[in-house]
Amino acid sequence: MKKVHLYQQQNPLQEGVMDFFSTIPFHLSFTHKPISKLDSILQKGIIRIGTTGDYKPFTYYNPETNCFEGYDIVMGKKIAKDLGVEVRFVPTSWTDLMNDLMADRFDIAMGGISRNLDRQKRAHLTAPYFSDGKTPLIRREDKDRFNSLQDIDRPEVTIGLNPGGTNEKYVKAHINNAVIKMVPHNLDIPQKVASKEVDVMITDSIEALYYEKQNPVLYAAMVDKPFIKSQKVYMIPRGDLDFQNWITLWMEENEMSDFSVKEKRLWGLAQAK
């Protein structure tokens, strides 16, 4: 009997795929999952928290004690405690905040960081833990003078502005006529409003309310009708699901705790609108 040889034609696509994989070295054919920051933090026994130290009541570097203080500083210490590690606060600025995070100068950024789409493009933003909006901090004697953004956006008005954050972004997008005076240190602007060096500071309502309580000359205007609404979040690197999931669960449990309620009242977050 004559033998019949069957020939099966190779699919060109299959042949190309096989050729591609045959060129990959064996030791590279199985990739390893990058170590999570969560594991790295636990192994090193320390979590590095980036914070600007210039945004009361969230974060403030006290030169008298050489320590950071504020609501988010307390929360940062709580994160470290619940992780079972030490905490190290790393100074940064609003201008350098994102680049410092991406350069691995710290593991998480905390301290009144506003949620927005530009930041989400480069980092992972957590769920919000506080909501407020942009309002003007003015002198109490001017509370009848400034009742709208149009009242502020006049050539005879000077706005004090700190570079790098969402305050700068808002002011430069919405102010066309008022004089904008850049102030390197955010903490200096409220005093400049009080001393009449500038007329207005446009900031988040929680910060405006804080300075109103500290100085009777100052007045937090329009807190019941902010120019825009915003939310505060923490910021961590993208693509690290293990660390993201731990922070998410920690925030959810913390929000339900008496500790969080007590600290929000202590730092004035519970009363802000």
Instruction: Spell out the domains of the chain, with CATH numbers in brackets.
Output: 37-130+230-266 (3.40.190.10), 133-229 (3.40.190.10)
Prediction pTM value: 0.80
CB distance 110 to 51 below 8 Å = yes
Tell whether the model's pLDDT for residue 16 goes beyond 50. yes
**pLDDT-based confidence at residue 92 (cuts at 50, 70, 90):** very high
CA-angle at 164, arms to 160 and 169, nearest 5°: 70
The mean pLDDT of 156-167, rounded to a whole number, is 94
**pLDDT-based confidence at residue 75 (cuts at 50, 70, 90):** very high
pLDDT single digits (tens) 229-249: 999 999 999 999 999 999 999
Please report the pLDDT score of residue 245 as a whole number.
Answer: 97
Please report the pLDDT score of residue 270 as a whole number.
Answer: 79
Segment among 15-29, 91-105, 199-213 with least mean pLDDT: 15-29
The mean pLDDT of 41-55, rounded to a whole number, is 97
